[in-house]
């Protein structure tokens, strides 16, 4: 009997093992290879699939900033009407500054409450109500990217956020066209609406821009190339890496921090600096009376004041020092063989072969030369008159009288 029981138990165990065999239900179905069936399509929800409704009430609430209060108060009837079609109730609490959505007995779609949660999130992030209501459709999804906590420096954060927007929002519009998503940059978040594929691309572009990994323009170039490659069915099963550009990041040289040179380690302490009393002992002030010490201090103060006053006076007088006039060779000789030669005159200027001389400077030098010649001529005439001897004058007069007498006698 015992042997029969053991045999039955072993048979049951083997049957259980066969029953739990892995992949037992992985058999080919007739609809697996049906080419008419598109498995990626999202079928629209039919209320007949859930006629009994939901058993429990689900609700979500979110806060909104104070500056959105007026807009939400005006646009709330539109939001309420859109949610009423799906059997979802909504409440706007202006005292607490919150929005709440919850299911009702009329709710049939169990996933619509998550769509309603996304709707109030988008409204709190400054997305317009007509655009935010589109998230209730099955094809539309949303993603709110938090960028405020990625970087701490506020100035860098603002610059990189502006880089994402571009001049006149051109960069943002290009990303919207290529990804097929609606993007709104507001404060510390980026709200995006679109397909799952587009939202994934938008998140990558935004995070790379804020982290300073890659500029949005490079992402735009990649997306343009991918869109053109997707049109070619021959490249559907091939890798596109050979067509995509490789952008290398250039490391900008930063200022090196001023690091102090490490001194060589010595086990001995530095020499002790002399104290104030030691310095007074060296100079002899320690043994002086208080009256002499005060007199010495006063004298030192006066000496320092006089030095500073002289230095200031020298600086003031430097502005009134006339320019130097240098005459290289000027020869004056007095007498009958007086000669004056002016070879060169310079009025405080140095010769420079590279600089061109102006006509004003040439005229000034010529005037100086003329005035020097006139003064030399006057000096020569005056000294010549003083040096005339009386004897020569008398001799010349006698010669002239003798000539006259000789002429008269001959006649």
348: pLDDT strictly greater than 50: no
Q: What is the pLDDT of residue 15?
A: 53
Q: What is the pLDDT of residue 5?
A: 55
The predicted-structure confidence for 310-334, as pLDDT tens digits, reads as follows 999 988 888 888 877 654 444 334 3
259: pLDDT strictly greater than 50: yes
| Beta bridge pairs of residue 186 | 189
Query: 22: pLDDT confidence band, cut at 50, 70 and 90?
Result: low
- Residue 117 has which token pair? 């949660």
DSSP 197-215: HHHHHHHHHHHHHHTTSS-
CA angle (201, 164, 138) in 5-degree steps: 40
Length of the chain: 411
Higher local confidence (pLDDT), 262 or 232: 232
Query: 390: pLDDT confidence band, cut at 50, 70 and 90?
Result: very low
Place of tokens 């065999």: 21
- Residue 121 has which token pair? 């999130």
Listed range (229-233, 245-249, 283-287) with the worst mean pLDDT: 245-249
Q: What is the pLDDT of residue 292?
A: 87
94: pLDDT strictly greater than 80: yes
Q: What is the pLDDT of residue 384?
A: 60
Burial class (CB in 10 A: 0-12, 13-18, 19+), 218: middle
CA distance linking residue 227 with residue 66, whole number of Å? 42
Q: Give, for 98, the enclosing helix (H) or strand (E).
A: strand 98-103
Place of tokens 């790379």: 208
Beta strand 326-332 with 340-346: parallel, antiparallel or unpaired?
antiparallel
Q: What is the pLDDT of residue 334?
A: 38
Q: What is the pLDDT of residue 14?
A: 56
Packing angle, helices 112-124 and 69-84, rounded to 10: 160
CA distance linking residue 345 with residue 176, whole number of Å? 79
Q: What is the pLDDT of residue 328?
A: 42
The predicted-structure confidence for 36-46, as pLDDT tens digits, reads as follows 888 778 788 88
Q: Which residues of 246-262 are buried (b: 16+ CB within 10 A; e: fewer)?
A: eeeeeeeeeeeeeeeee
Listed range (80-94, 238-252, 267-281) with the worst mean pLDDT: 238-252
- The phi and psi torsions of 403 (rounded to 5 degrees) equal -65, -40
23: pLDDT strictly greater than 90: no
The predicted-structure confidence for 117-147, as pLDDT tens digits, reads as follows 999 999 999 999 999 999 999 889 999 999 9
Place of tokens 């006053």: 309
Sorted by sequence, the CB contacts under 8 Å of residue 59 that are 6+ apart come out as 100, 101, 102, 103, 113
Residue among 221, 205, 293, 215 nearest 248 (CA): 215
pTM (predicted TM-score) = 0.54
Residue among 144, 1, 121, 134 nearest 65 (CA): 121
The predicted-structure confidence for 100-116, as pLDDT tens digits, reads as follows 999 999 999 999 999 99
The predicted-structure confidence for 212-222, as pLDDT tens digits, reads as follows 989 999 999 99
177: pLDDT strictly greater than 60: yes
Q: What is the pLDDT of residue 45?
A: 87
Number of CB atoms found within 10 A of residue 58's CB: 15
What is the pLDDT of the chain when averaged over all its residues?
Answer: 80
The predicted-structure confidence for 227-236, as pLDDT tens digits, reads as follows 999 888 888 8
């Amino acid at each position: 009997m015992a042997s029969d029981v053991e045999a039955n138990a072993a048979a049951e165990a083997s049957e259980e093992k066969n029953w739990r065999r892995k992949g037992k239900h992985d058999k080919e179905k007739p609809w697996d290879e049906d080419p008419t069936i598109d498995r990626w399509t999202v079928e629209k929800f039919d209320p007949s699939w859930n006629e009994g409704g939901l058993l429990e009430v689900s609700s979500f609430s979110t806060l909104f900033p104070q500056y959105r209060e007026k807009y939400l108060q005006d646009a709330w009837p539109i939001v309420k009407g859109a949610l009423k079609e799906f059997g979802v109730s909504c409440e706007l609490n202006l005292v607490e500054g919150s929005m709440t959505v919850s299911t009702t007995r009329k709710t049939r779609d169990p996933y619509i409450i998550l769509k309603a949660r996304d709707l109030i999130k988008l409204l709190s992030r400054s997305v317009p109500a007509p655009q935010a209501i589109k998230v209730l459709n099955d094809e539309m999804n949303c993603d709110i990217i938090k960028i405020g906590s990625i970087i701490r420096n506020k100035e860098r954060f603002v610059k990189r956020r502006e880089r994402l927007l571009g001049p006149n929002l051109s960069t943002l519009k290009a990303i919207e066209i290529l990804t097929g998503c609606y993007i709104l940059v507001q404060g510390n978040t980026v709200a995006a609406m679109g397909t799952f594929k587009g939202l994934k691309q938008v998140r990558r572009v935004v995070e790379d821009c804020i982290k300073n990994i890659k500029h949005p323009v490079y992402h735009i170039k990649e997306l343009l190339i991918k869109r053109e490659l997707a049109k070619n069915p021959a490249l559907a099963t091939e890798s596109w890496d050979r067509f995509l550009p490789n952008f290398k990041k250039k490391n900008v040289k930063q200022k090196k921090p001023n690091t102090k040179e490490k001194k060589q380690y010595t086990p001995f302490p530095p020499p002790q600096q002399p104290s104030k009393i030691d310095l007074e002992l060296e100079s002899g002030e320690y043994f002086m009376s208080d009256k002499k010490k005060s007199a010495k201090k006063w004298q030192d103060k006066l000496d320092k004041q006089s030095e500073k006053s002289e230095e200031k006076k020298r600086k003031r007088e430097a502005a009134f020092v006339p320019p130097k006039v240098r005459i290289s060779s000027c020869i004056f000789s007095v007498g009958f063989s007086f000669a004056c030669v002016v070879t060169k005159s310079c009025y405080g200027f140095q010769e420079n072969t590279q600089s061109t001389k102006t006509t004003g400077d040439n005229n000034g030098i010529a005037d100086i030369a003329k005035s020097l010649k006139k003064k030399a001529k006057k000096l020569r005439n005056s000294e010549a008159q003083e040096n005339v001897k009386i004897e020569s004058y008398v001799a010349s007069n006698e010669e002239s009288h003798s000539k006259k007498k000789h002429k008269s006698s001959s006649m």
